[in-house]
Amino acid sequence: MKLTVFNGSPRGKKSNTAILLEHFLKGFMETEGNSYELEYIVNNKDVGELVEMFKDANNVILAFPLYTGCMSGIVKSFVESLKPLYGKQDNPSVGFMVQGGFPEAYQSRFVERYLEKLAKRLNCQYLGCIVKGGIEGIQGKPQFMTQKFFYYFYELGKVYGKSGKFDEEMLKNLAKPEHLSVLGRLFYKFARLTGMANIHWNKQLKENKAFEKRFDRPFT
């Protein structure tokens, strides 16, 4: 099987999306004869070239992080550039991978519905959507905290490499929790009230010299 993979993270090769794809593709390559081409959307200024890659592919996976309930601008731009392919008969099968910092899978379900509708508009066989929350910060987590869901991504890739489909039961297990438990909601409320929830984000803002602008409202 030949697979074309688009990584839509603005962080490119240093992204959490890249890490998850690495495990998925490792499983995918377990099947003899499989091959893939990986393209980072953020590094490609020629949108026409990306559209041609999509058009010429047999199987596509588009992976990206959830950004405030939706996709990043570069992914939206890429998706809109596919409009000339809408309804064509020879478009590839397409699956998606959406990861985010929110721990609940529910946060990604709205964009998942959009992606399913997108596949139908493109007349593509829709393979499904891999959803995983709680991913922000995984690069700094110890192995025991990540090995379980890394294994799920590997196994999903392995099954996909053999069958050309996502395993529905594995998708459900990987996505958990769908909603936070009562205890989980109380913890996050406590973290928000004490400022613990902002530690990571404040660190990011300071590193990018944007901490003093965190309450700016440029569109009002």
Same domain, 29 and 9: yes
Same domain, 145 and 166: yes
Res 189 pLDDT > 90: no
130-156 pLDDT, tens digit each: 999 989 888 887 888 888 889 999 999
Same domain, 37 and 142: yes
User: Averaged over 85-91, what is the pLDDT?
Assistant: 92
Tokens of 103: 């721990």
User: Averaged over 50-71, what is the pLDDT?
Assistant: 92
Same domain, 203 and 98: no
**What is the pLDDT of the chain when averaged over all its residues?**
91
At 157, phi and psi to the nearest 5?
Answer: -65, -40
Same domain, 171 and 192: no
Same domain, 203 and 174: no
| Burial grade of 75 (CB within 10 A; 0-12, 13-18, 19 or more) | buried
Name the residue with higher pLDDT: 152 or 200.
152
Q: 200 lies in which domain range?
A: 180-220
User: What percentage of the chain carries pLDDT values higher than 70?
Assistant: 99
135: region left, alpha or beta (phi > 0 left; psi from -120 to 50 alpha) = alpha
Same domain, 25 and 45: yes
Per-residue pLDDT at 182:
78
Most confident of 35-44, 151-160, 172-181: 151-160
Res 32 pLDDT > 80: yes
Burial string for 31-42 (b: 16+ CB within 10 Å, else e) reads eeebebebbbbb
Same domain, 168 and 207: no
Same domain, 49 and 93: yes
- Structurally, the chain folds into a number of domains equal to 2
Same domain, 89 and 76: yes
Same domain, 104 and 20: yes
pTM for the model stands at: 0.87
Same domain, 167 and 206: no
Res 92 pLDDT > 80: yes
The last residue of one of the domains, among 146, 164, 179, is 179
Per-residue pLDDT at 45:
67
User: Averaged over 109-125, what is the pLDDT?
Assistant: 95
CATH number for the domain that contains residue 103:
3.40.50.360
